[in-house]
Structure 1
Amino acid sequence: MNIDSTRSAEQHSVTIWEINRDRLTAMQHKLSDTPKLLSVAAGKSTCSIFKVPQTLIDVNGKSYEPHIISVGPFHHGQPHLKMIEEHKWRFLRQLLNRTSVKGTVLEDYLKAVQPLEITARECYSGTVPYSTDEFIEMMVLDGCFVIELLRKFGGLVEFEDYDPLIRMSWIVSFFLRDLIRLENQIPYFILECLFELTKTEASPTLATLALNFFNLATQRPDHVLEKYAHVEAKHLLDLLRSTFLPHELEKPIKPDNRPPPHVIHSISKLRRAGIKLKTWEAESFLVVDFKRGVIHMPTISIDDFMSAFLLNTVAFEQCHSGCSKHFTTYVTLVDCLINTSKDVSYLCDSNIIENYFGTDAEVATLFNNMGKDISFDIDDCYMARLFDDVNRHYHTGWHVQVASLKYTYFNTPWSFVSALAAFVLLLLTVAQTFYTILSYVRPP
């Protein structure tokens, strides 16, 4: 009995050892593999172009995907983007026809980009599944198309007669949005390399051309854009983002000797506590302040472009390891202020929001979704002092009760009339009671 059991145990151990040997071989193969969907380089500050996290896609849908043009490898070759892919070659041909006069040919473009290949690949969060030749061709073709597009809209190069890319106005609006999508970028140093190779002596800077192009949607004064003619950036989305950062508030302001700040209530509740909301002039809508019970905010226009810009900028801040969280903080603030369409209506009436996006309910949904599944440290954000001051004011004793009384009974003319009528009725009741008691104590 013991001998049989021993043989059985030996056979069993041999069987288990064979299974482990196969599994060990498979594990050894996996040990040599490197992550492809999220590369190791994605954690470096040099990585700046990311696939948007699925959690954000689940909330905000296709706001991160290009609709008519692909730039870079993440959406390269998709069927619905082939229409503009054909025009990229037309734009490159036009560029070569101009630069061939001074002896610059297609081979020069490829040779200029080739030394930048490895650095450019490391800018993407996932492994780029293209060969060296394919990758360099993509960088040159996409980069030259973007630069030519900026030159044409900047008036440096004329559009061809009846060019559909300018004659069809709907295409321009999609260009504006697709060129600021996080997944649809190429490194800015690639654009600069190609730009320097093809520019003329009197040409504005690449940043100036790009910001003037995006100004078709943002509509900012020229003197604001002039300050960023030589700004450095990681890609076009980062370029536009950097021009909105409030320089005087770049360093987080932490409250001293105070408990950690908390997010604030909706504007409806804040108004009941006497906190008001007023618009003020500033170069960026990110410059928000709170003084003497009043939140001061610049006006922001909400439309299709701005919604795409905010969503993709927040996604960029969530993914980039060395990036400040200014836009994330601003979106969190507005998300706190807005709970319902009534809150949006009040922000519109106060000229804080100019709504070109849709109904008030749609704007409320936009910001509420934008604030979901994002991570930011309220202690380190540049509005830490504001969140703290608003909360302290909201929870202060007697003036909250007075403000609530005013909001309830004196917010509208009809509520004031009702309160006044109730007060007069109370006086008459008191007077009647007084004379009744007086007639009982001192009868005539």
Structure 2
Amino acid sequence: MVAVFNKDLLSWYLITLKLNETVGAGVPDGQNPATSGASTSRSIEFTEPQPPPQQQLQEEKHQPSDSLQVVIKDETARVEEGPKSPESDWVISIRQKLDHAYQDDSANTWSKLCIYRIPQYLREGNDKCFLPQIVSLGPYHHNKRRLRNMDPHKWRAVSHILQRTNHDIKLYLDAVKELEERARACYEGQICLSSDEFVEMMVLDGCFILELFRGVAEGFSQLGYSRSDPIFSMRGSMHSIQRDMIMLENQIPLFVLDRLFGIQVGQPDLKGIVSKLALRFFDPLTPTDEPLSKSDRHKLEISMGHTSAFDPLADFGGVHCLDVFRRSLLRSGPQPTPKVWVKKWSNSHRVADKRRQQLIHCVTELREAGINFKKRKTDRFWDVKFKDGVLKIPRLLIHDGTMSLFLNLIAFEQCHLDSTNYITSYVIFMDNLINSPEDVSILHHYGIIEHWLGSDAEVADLFNRLCQEVVFDISDSYLSPLSGQVNRYCDHRWNTWRATLCHKYFNNPWAVISVVAAVVLLVLTFAQTFYGVYGYYRPPS
């Protein structure tokens, strides 16, 4: 508490207080100019002088008689609420969100979306299959610290292109600048990059992709790279780079790559060549390497009723490299039927968990029910056939990148509205067939599964993890009719009895000899008994 007994001092104090109020008038309610916490006010009390204590009487005589006592108290102030505005900040923020949602619907941005973030239900436990380990492409993993080591090599790729073509970098920047809005609409969510940063990233990543594509197709030495180049050469890191570049979150829109490649060759509107280069680049990731002779391929084309060749030049439907690769896997397959917003759902068709995604029994159970297995000669790993108790399955090659490939293909089919679900259907079908290492061993025995993993148990675990969180409608599977035929065949008991007889008594030559001997012995015993009884009742005359 401070007491002021001098008029001049009081005048100066009042002037200072007035200035303080003038400065504080511009500060928002509830905030202190010095601190943003609770404000502190000073209350001023004007009181008449109180009778002083006895020991201060001498001093009091010298004080002016007309002085006033000013008492200042420091205490925590309660912020007074000012007059309320017509609408609170909360309501205003809600209106802004509604306006933003209306603009999204009006712009129809969802129709352009094609590069998605992996849903959390698919990502759990499989992060490594969706996160790039060496190179980042696009905005989702841009500028991640662990992926920055590839940036100098990206700039080297741009430098090589400019030196070969004698172009200025501004030509590429301006071309991608025209496509910026369209490219941003391909990505899910808000991209927190400025216009210049986004265009720079598209040019840098796009040129890097094109150099890799052309290097694999034409030879890196032809493009001016050293034979010992750590990135632009057919070295051990190429497989890891291919696996990163096929991930859904690591994609660049195909029309951006087409424009960048068109500028290099002098035809800015050129389309299709990049798709063809992409297929050659990602060919090692194909989950089958079944070699077909010319006669087998010709027979296959006749049976399919059309050519088996996939021509990316004639198909402009691909939206990015993962989509192009998926279309090549499904070439000459069932005609795609785009998804629709509204479907006829019923309790019998709707699938909410893994237990109701059972299309078919496992391999062991099918063998016990009389189903035989055979490898089908085709390079289409999804083309499964069933006839006369024989299930024909194409050869499937499994390596360390198979799980990442299938998971990203499944994620794209789950997210993209205009995509079919054939890869998902096939993987769920195989997941149903394989429940144990014994199932894998049987399929490996027939040449249907070839793997480079450590054991059959790892293969079984791979398929069981692939569809762990996938929600799928079995009525939409192209393999549902085939599965129904197999299940009906298994329901006949005669087929089961016959299979049991073959598996238990005719599974090896020694068992066959034993069964034949037992049957002969049984027949002879029956004949001996018959003639003994016959001779007893009808003795010879």
Give the TM-score normalised by structure 1: 0.82
The residue that corresponds to 1:188 in the other structure is 254
Does residue 176 of structure 1 match 2:242?
yes
Report if the CA contact (8 A) 1:262-1:388 is conserved. Answer: no
Does residue 50 of structure 1 match 2:112?
no
Deviation sequence 1:257-284 (CA, Å, 0-9, x none): xx97961100111111111221222242
The residue that corresponds to 1:8 in the other structure is none
1:93 to 142, 151, 159: 159
AA partner of residue 217 (structure 2): G
What's the CA shift for 1:44?
3.1
2:190 to 127, 132, 141: 127
User: What RMSD, in angstroms, separates the aligned Cα atoms of the two structures?
Assistant: 3.7
Distance 1:221 1:435, change over 3 A: closer
What's the CA shift for 1:439?
11
What's the CA shift for 1:342?
1.0
Distance 1:379 1:192, change over 3 A: same
Structure 1: how far apart are the matches of 2:271 and 2:412? 30
What's the CA shift for 1:390?
1.2
2:323 to 206, 213, 238: 238
2:484 to 372, 378, 388: 388
User: Which has the larger displacement, 377-386 or 66-75?
Assistant: 377-386
Deviation sequence 1:186-234 (CA, Å, 0-9, x none): 1111111111111268999212211111124435889966633443311
What's the CA shift for 1:70?
0.3
Structure 2: how far apart are the matches of 1:211 and 1:248? 17
The residue that corresponds to 1:227 in the other structure is 311
AA partner of residue 157 (structure 1): L
**Is there any run of 5+ residues in structure 2 with no aligned partner, and where?**
1-80, 298-307, 338-347, 350-356
Structure 1: how far apart are the matches of 2:230 and 2:377? 39
Deviation sequence 1:112-158 (CA, Å, 0-9, x none): 11121122111112211111111111111100110011111111624
The residue that corresponds to 2:451 in the other structure is 355
Distance 1:27 1:421, change over 3 A: farther
The residue that corresponds to 2:467 in the other structure is 371
The residue that corresponds to 1:343 in the other structure is 439
Structure 2: how far apart are the matches of 1:88 and 1:271? 53
Of Structure 1 and Structure 2, the greater helix share is in 1
Structure 2: how far apart are the matches of 1:33 and 1:423? 84
Give the TM-score normalised by structure 2: 0.68
Report if the CA contact (8 A) 1:42-1:126 is conserved. Answer: no
AA partner of residue 213 (structure 1): F
Distance 1:296 1:46, change over 3 A: farther
Structure 2: how far apart are the matches of 1:419 and 1:30? 82
What's the CA shift for 1:426?
6.2
The residue that corresponds to 1:5 in the other structure is none
Does residue 207 of structure 1 match 2:275?
yes
Report if the CA contact (8 A) 1:264-1:387 is conserved. Answer: yes
The residue that corresponds to 1:25 in the other structure is 89
Structure 2: how far apart are the matches of 1:251 and 1:75? 31
Structure 2: how far apart are the matches of 1:27 and 1:279? 65
Distance 1:167 1:149, change over 3 A: closer
What's the CA shift for 1:412?
3.5
Structure 2: how far apart are the matches of 1:306 and 1:66? 15
User: Which has the larger displacement, 203-212 or 77-86?
Assistant: 203-212
Tell which has more relative contact order, 1 or 2 (C-alpha 8 A, sep 6+): 1
Report if the CA contact (8 A) 2:360-2:432 is conserved. Answer: yes
Report if the CA contact (8 A) 2:396-2:449 is conserved. Answer: yes
Structure 2: how far apart are the matches of 1:341 and 1:42? 49
> SS where residue 391 of structure 1 aligns?
helix
What's the CA shift for 1:316?
0.7
What's the CA shift for 1:352?
1.2
Report if the CA contact (8 A) 2:109-2:185 is conserved. Answer: no
**Structure number with bigger Rg:** 2
Distance 1:401 1:220, change over 3 A: closer
Deviation sequence 1:92-114 (CA, Å, 0-9, x none): 011111222xxx31111111111
Structure 2: how far apart are the matches of 1:159 and 1:242? 32
Structure 2: how far apart are the matches of 1:384 and 1:316? 21
Structure 2: how far apart are the matches of 1:45 and 1:203? 21
Does residue 143 of structure 1 match 2:180?
no
Report if the CA contact (8 A) 1:109-1:140 is conserved. Answer: yes
What's the CA shift for 1:69?
0.3
The residue that corresponds to 1:67 in the other structure is 133
AA partner of residue 303 (structure 1): H
Distance 1:329 1:160, change over 3 A: same
2:503 to 396, 407, 416: 407
The residue that corresponds to 1:249 in the other structure is 334
1:77 to 143, 153, 166: 143
The residue that corresponds to 1:10 in the other structure is none
2:375 to 272, 279, 289: 279
AA partner of residue 401 (structure 2): F
What's the CA shift for 1:72?
0.3
The residue that corresponds to 1:328 in the other structure is 424
Report if the CA contact (8 A) 1:326-1:381 is conserved. Answer: yes
Structure 2: how far apart are the matches of 1:152 and 1:203? 19
> SS where residue 301 of structure 1 aligns?
strand
Distance 1:115 1:268, change over 3 A: same
Structure 1: how far apart are the matches of 2:248 and 2:205? 15
What's the CA shift for 1:387?
1.6
What's the CA shift for 1:27?
5.3
The residue that corresponds to 1:7 in the other structure is none
